[in-house]
Amino acid sequence: MTEEHMPAVVTITKVIDETPTIKTFVFDELFNIRPGQFCMVWVPGVDEIPMAFSAANAITVMKVGDATAALFTLKEGDKIGIRGPFGNGFFPTGKVLAIGGGIGVTPLFTLAAGGEVDTFILGARTAEELVFADELANVTDLKIATDDGTRGYHGFVTGILDQLDATEYDTICVCGPEMMMKGILDRLIARGIESRGQFSLHRYMKCGVGVCGSCCIDHEGLRVCRDGPVFTGDIIRNSEFAHHHRGPSGRKE
């Protein structure tokens, strides 16, 4: 096994309450990451789940299930296991637009923090749920959309995209709810620039290294953990993307 396949036991050094449902966990080890790569996070006694890095020594987590609920009970000094980094990450060139919805901002934040994003569209249900808005405003041309209009544009991130000329950007990096990403992909296809889009997919994963096949997507059998999680729009436009997910058994849902 290579080093990244073995879990590193790390100590949590800081817990940051980002929103009522999102926390950042900072740990005492730096990982050599590319923005968009992920790790498998082992929560002792509970489960191991995939998480995007929000920094070389941090993950930012939304409370959505048993494992994340267990993470939310941890504090400074507690330990978790980290395997990774895994995946191919983002590979932008030229002028870059990033679009993040909800917790999907996490892998894009590392891209922006590294000075690789020109314009950033950040979306959330409400102003209270916006993550990294202040930090992003310092390093990009930030545009905000909230579903309820409590901050920025009243509506979805696609509404802001409609106000821009997407063809002005050489790379469009996207992460968020799948139907949000589908709306963006449809707009890129309509302009004939879907190959400029780079979409970070989330799928059920067991191993994280391309062995178990639990995260394969039709029709090419691409493994999200190994061949992704970032795919260009021309690759996923005719896949199962935005049509269904798969559960632990591999059954379509």
Look-up: residue for tokens 């290579």? 2
Q: Is 173 annotated as a binding residue?
A: no
Between CA 187 and CA 192 the distance in angstroms is: 9
Could you count the other beta carbons within 10 Å of the beta carbon of residue 246?
A: 17
**Distance (Å) of CA 214 to CA 93, 205, 211, 224, 228:** 31, 6, 9, 9, 13
Determine how β-strand 171-175 pairs with β-strand 197-200: parallel
Would you state the structure tokens that stand for residue 40, as one six-digit string? 């498998």
Tokens of 34: 């590319």
Q: Which residue has the tokens 């096994």?
A: 1
Q: Nearest to residue 34, comparing CAs of 237, 198, 168, 170?
A: 198
Is 175 annotated among the ligand-binding residues? no
Is 215 labeled as ligand-binding? yes
Q: Is 225 annotated as a binding residue?
A: yes
C-beta separation of 87 from 175 below 8 A: no
Residue 22 sits at φ, ψ, to 5 deg, of -130, 135
CA distance 60 to 21: 11
Q: Return binding residues for [2Fe-2S] cluster.
A: 207, 212, 215, 225
Q: Return binding residues.
A: 207, 212, 215, 225
